[in-house]
Structure 1
């Protein structure tokens, strides 16, 4: 075996494998073409294709009201934003033209999404025969929404984006399968994720997901500049990839790799600035809308603040939410920093500064990144259903155990159902009042997320519980003897992989 096989490493997979003959044997061979990465890419493609089918009713059905969309749980932001943000007229998202701004709202997303949406709208219209967009400017926006030609474009727009998202999902699956060369099958929890199927087409989040996965791969190969550039690019699409710099800081302090962190941070800032510059120069006021929109929004879907706002007679002020959410998140980050600096070290050496930390003791980037992003989502003012994708690539590497992934994603699926029932009014009590069952959905989601947080923290404090600390048994001379060091990408020819693998199983 040149890598850890899930049927011999994970009890859930081992139990399921009994249907097809049980765990892989000691003398199992390798297929010449079907490598683990290729199998994982096929899995990702199939799951994402099913996700397109799941969203198809809302793109193809005619004459259905909004509640029908919610009841079928196939809503996507792509359709309403095509006309509502001027993409049907190919209006530049950051145009400061008075007439354009009077007709359309500014894109409330970071620039990376605005660029992608504008580019796919341009490609959509090229595919559809380049309609006369100037003539559309003379018609009311409400009239455009009911136009048959525009409706046909909408379907093409969704399909063009779906093709792009599929490439992003495949890129993420490929990257995750290669972060740890000894454990490619850990990426299967991403490839077969029901949350990927259900939420992949709701918004543009898969772009940042792919960039985060590629950043994890780049760091595992000790490519600090590339890691920083990918983080900066991801932060230009969604802000949360920026939190990976905090995880890198912990690792670099532990290993005294200050130059590596400096390079990553500088290139993240430079890349983010370069990507944002065209938008800022073409419309500074429009560029600022993303920041003001998020600062001014009140308690929204899926957040604990929504429960507090609906429970309290006088609600909760935006300023109060902003203050307390940032205070909590700041304290959470300090806790992750302390945990990351102490985790994995023997008790007597936890506060020692005499020597750099052993890479084998240092928490992994996926673990630290998962904890930081999870803390942010727990106190954020909104938790849209697709935000589960932010955690997905980090979670599957942070805790590569199917039992824990199933528990966590089950909570996310339950929330996915309740949020659409809530928006459709199906959870409204017959006697009036607030929909308390939706609160249950929020609490269950948070509880399952916290469960996975606890498991990751335990792995960091007690590394012998961490599945990714185990090494596969490598056949000498197979060409795979120089498997990558856990989380660092440094070959260690002095490690006896066979003995280490046996010892790890004995500990378990």
Structure 2
């Protein structure tokens, strides 16, 4: 029997922005073009391989862009004027790895345990090698080894995303070609948590809740944010009235997180708690909602709203307020999940949960944009809004480095320029949240559902056993949405 071929979405036909671009090179692919559903399925350059190659190209270009900073000789603000600063290189020295100190045991580390372990596993062998080879630049070696490993993790992430979107492989090109990946890929170790987070979502989609919990637990042990994906899963489980798989995944995540953290707590609680202490005592960070309020132009030469200035000086109150606002925002997401005409897709809810955390949090570091990249690709694969958001991120990136130069004593532009760039970045994320919420309330507009027969390809164990996706309280089957051209 001949195997059934899966229809692959062609953005040159279905996405207005891409359709406009491809008209300049002769229009979309023809009906007989080679590909997964075409006449030459053995052709090497399949969409998935093209996307993987594009991701590799982006990562290589990112490495080239960072080359001016690799020697660690950061004189005359070269790390800012060349836009090549990286925490990876800076923290090799600041965390004592260049002296052979073991993270947490010999020196407190400002990151969760798995990230600190990652730093130590790569940094300590380089220190040992440098002791017998004093001619090498240990900082450069450390950055390059980290950049290589993190790039491999990024490629694995792309492969996982492709596996989750077999009918829409070109969506993943949004991640592979993202300007944010180009400018921020190895600024920090966030790609470690991202590969665990996406792996957890992929495992959940394959109906393996325990594996999903394990991977998300490891991600939470690397950075806090993958733990928020459990919230999205639990919200949807409440809607589906199928809590058991979500509880299994969450319980596994807690066990894994404790297994990673408890040994370090036992050996040196002070070194382990540095992450908690820093986040508790840390003030308002650049580019956040609270920074915008503190530095918003209010008159000629005057900046800052009084309420935000007071909050910036009262960190305990600011911490409490951010927690309350994030909790209210997540409660609003739960209401949206429960009131939607059809159970929302997991990626949509995950994107909203993480994005709202960033909007109200007091810290929004440059590289945190990477957290949203895979979730945006899975939640709303529309190129126009995605690229507008990425443009806002690039503007913020440029303004941020100008602000860093200003902090170093070389004024580049007035403060209002950075405030404006921060507002544009935050506004772009807010607009994406609104668009995702609109797609949730109008599922017939969702391009992913259109490719997957009106269902959520990531729902995993939340799908009813009889194959129905969702049922309302009165028993009406709401699995299928009208995806005819008149409604799409």
Aligned length: 452
Q: List gaps (5 residues or longer) in structure 1.
A: 134-147, 346-360, 474-482
Match of 2:459 in 1: 488
CA distance in 2, matches of 1:18, 1:492: 44
The aligned residue for residue 131 of structure 1 is: 131
1:165 counterpart = 2:150: yes
Instruction: Give 1:318-333 correspondences, 5 Å limit.
Output: 318-333=315-330
* 4+ residue runs over 6 A deviation: 426-432, 490-495
Determine the structure 1 residue equivalent to 2:422: 442
Displacement of 1:256 after TM fit? Answer: 2.0
Q: Name the residue aligned to 2:379.
A: 398
Counterparts of 1:494 and 1:307 in 2: how far apart (Å)? 46
Equivalent residue number for residue 5 of structure 1: 10
1:307 — aligned with what? 292
Asked if the contact 1:40–1:174 (Cα under 8 Å) also holds between the matched residues in 2, the reply is no
Q: Is the 8 A contact 1:472 1:501 kept in 2?
A: no
1:336 maps to 2:347: no
Deviation per CA, 1:220-242: give whole Å up to 9, x if none.
11111111111110000110111
- Counterpart check, 1:14 vs 2:19: yes
The residue matched to 2:109 in structure 1 has which SS? coil
TM-score scaled by length of structure 2: 0.86
The 1-side partners of 2:115 and 2:458 are apart by: 30
Change (3 A) 1:149 1:282: farther
Contact 2:449/2:455, CA 8 A, preserved across alignment: no
The answer for the alignment partner of 1:199 in structure 2 is 184
Larger relative contact order (CA 8 Å, sep ≥ 6):
1
Taking the aligned partners of 1:458 and 1:390, their CA distance within structure 2 comes to: 22
Structure 2 match to 1:349: none
Q: 1:472 to 1:299 in 2, by over 3 A?
A: closer
1:371 to partner: Cα distance: 0.4
Contact 1:228 1:265 in 2 (8 A): yes
Query: Counterpart of 1:22 in 2: which secondary structure?
Result: coil
Q: Deviations over 1:59-117 (max 9, x none)?
A: 1474623x22112111001112112111012211111xxxx55xxxx211111110000
Segment of structure 1 superposing worse, 486-495 or 368-377: 486-495
Q: How does 1:356-367 map to 2 (within 5 A)?
A: 361-367=342-348
Q: CA deviation at 1:274?
A: 0.9
1:289 counterpart = 2:286: no
| 1:27 aligned onto 2:32 | yes
Q: Does the aligned pair in 1 maintain the 2:402–2:412 contact within 8 Å?
A: no
Structure 1 length-normalised TM: 0.83
Q: Aligned partners of 2:483, 2:363: CA distance in 1, in Å? A: 45
- What RMSD in Å do the two structures reach over aligned CA positions? 2.7
Flag the 1:503–1:49 CA change in 2: closer, same or farther, 3 A.
same
| 2:31 match: secondary structure | coil
Q: Does 1:460 align with 2:440?
A: yes
1:2 offset after TM fit, Å?
A: 2.2
Q: How far off is 1:163 after superposition? A: 0.7
Summarize the alignment of residues 195-234 of structure 1 with structure 2, pairs less than 5 Å apart. Answer: 195-234=180-219
Conserved? CA contact 1:328–1:379, under 8 Å: yes
Distance 2:232 2:484 in 1: 26
* Correspondence list, 1:25-174, <5 A: 25-30=30-35, 31-32=41-42, 33-60=44-71, 62=73, 64-65=75-76, 67-95=77-105, 100=106, 106-125=108-127, 129=129, 131=131, 149=135, 152-174=137-159
Inter-partner Cα distance in structure 2 for 1:430 and 1:261? 51
Q: Report if aligned partners of 1:370, 1:395 keep a CA contact under 8 Å in 2.
A: yes
1:437, distance to aligned residue in structure 2 (A): 1.5
Match of 2:260 in 1: 275
Query: Structure 1, residues 150-181: CA drift from partner, whole Å, max 9, x if none?
Result: 7x111111110011111110111111111133
Whole-angstrom distance in 1 between the partners of 2:468 and 2:434:
33
Distance 1:63 1:316 in 2: 32
CA separation of 1:378 and 1:335: change in aligned 2, threshold 3 A: same
CA contact (8 A) 2:405 2:411 kept: no
Shift of 1:430: 7.6
Alignment partner of 1:301: what SS?
coil
Q: Does the CA contact (< 8 Å) of 2:190 and 2:371 recur in 1? A: yes
Residue of structure 2 in register with 1:142 after alignment? none
- 1:175-203 C-alpha deviation (Å, 9 max, x unpaired): 11111332222111101101001000100
